[in-house]
Amino acid sequence: MSTTSADDLREEVRRRYAESALAVSDGGLGCGSGSCCDGETDASSFGGALYDAGQRGELPATATLASLGCGNPTAVAELREGETVLDLGSGGGIDVILSAKRVGETGLAYGLDMTDEMLALAQRNAQEAGVRNAIFLKGVIEEIPLPAGSIDVVISNCVINLSTDKPAVLTEIARVLRPGGRIGISDVVAEDRLSSEERGERGSFVGCIAGALSVSEYEAGLEAAGFERISVELTHEVADGMHGAIVKAVKAR
């Protein structure tokens, strides 16, 4: 992809998710036009419906309404007291708030997002949830603004498919994780049989479909970045041959 078209695409993603954040702040739903759950796909496959009632009860209403994910990474990441967690593309903050509660006062949850409107919404939600061990950072997931080896667990919910440089994201995840650190990521993933063109026919890039990696591309990318014990588990179909998936791996020691 040329630099200009990658920059244009990232700007379109930023603009669409800024609109979603503003819609929630105005009392509406985050699933606005062009977002991951805008009707190109089955709405029950995205957002707050993927969290159980107990988890939703821990959250301010606007955090649940702002949820635009395609899974529930906090349910698979097995977070422990005292750990440091990083959520890539933290949006309205739902997974950062839940993670901060799981790791407790001796742990820390970072959220990283490039969209000012999402960061402002997430800050308000974390404050309303009474969470004090959450820090929201502005930046892009292709250049994570944190030191090497500083994170125990990286989570992410429906964001890596939106990146225009996935190898850079996977390399950056490996850099910030401590040796033995792990990932628990929800993302849209394509069956291997679908070409890039066919993925593009199933939905848009900003809608979390066209930019999805296939199962083998994900596995190969993680292996190249230095991960082991890699698993990509397809959990629910969101479009023909495209699935919500749980991606797990451990950084080699």
Ligand X SMILES: C[S@@+](CC[C@H](N)C(=O)[O-])C[C@H]1O[C@@H](n2cnc3c(N)ncnc32)[C@H](O)[C@@H]1O
Note whether 111 binds ligand X by CB under 6 A: no
Compose the 75-104 pattern: x for residues touching ligand X by CB under 6 A, - for all others.
--------------xxxx-xx---------
State the nearest-atom distance from the C-beta of 25 to ligand X, in Å. Answer: 13
Neighbours of 84 (CB within 10 A): 19
Q: What are phi and psi of 111, to 5 degrees?
A: -120, 135
- Backbone Cα Rg of the chain: 16
Instruction: Report the distance separating Cα 249 and Cα 243, nearest Å.
Output: 19
Note whether 115 binds ligand X by CB under 6 A: yes
Binding ligand X (rule: CB under 6 A), the pick from 158, 212, 213, 232 is 158
Note whether 24 binds ligand X by CB under 6 A: no
Helical H runs in the chain? Answer: 3-25, 53-57, 61-65, 73-76, 94-103, 116-128, 166-176, 196-202, 215-224
Query: What is the number of alpha carbons within 13 Å of residue 168 lying toward its C-beta?
Result: 9
Among residues 184, 187, 156, 168, the alpha carbon closest in space to that of 250 is found at 184
Q: Which is nearer to ligand X, 143 or 228 (CB)?
A: 143
Q: Which is nearer to ligand X, 7 or 192 (CB)?
A: 7
State the nearest-atom distance from the C-beta of 218 to ligand X, in Å. Answer: 17
Helix, strand, or coil (residue 184) = strand
Binding ligand X (rule: CB under 6 A), the pick from 23, 31, 59, 68 is 68
Binding ligand X (rule: CB under 6 A), the pick from 144, 159, 190, 225 is 159
200 token code pair = 């593009």
Which residues from 193-212 bind ligand X, rule CB under 6 A? 208
Note whether 59 binds ligand X by CB under 6 A: no
Q: Which residue ranges make up the site for ligand X (CB under 6 A)?
A: 10, 13-14, 17, 36, 67-69, 89-92, 94-95, 113-115, 118, 140-142, 157-159, 162-163, 208
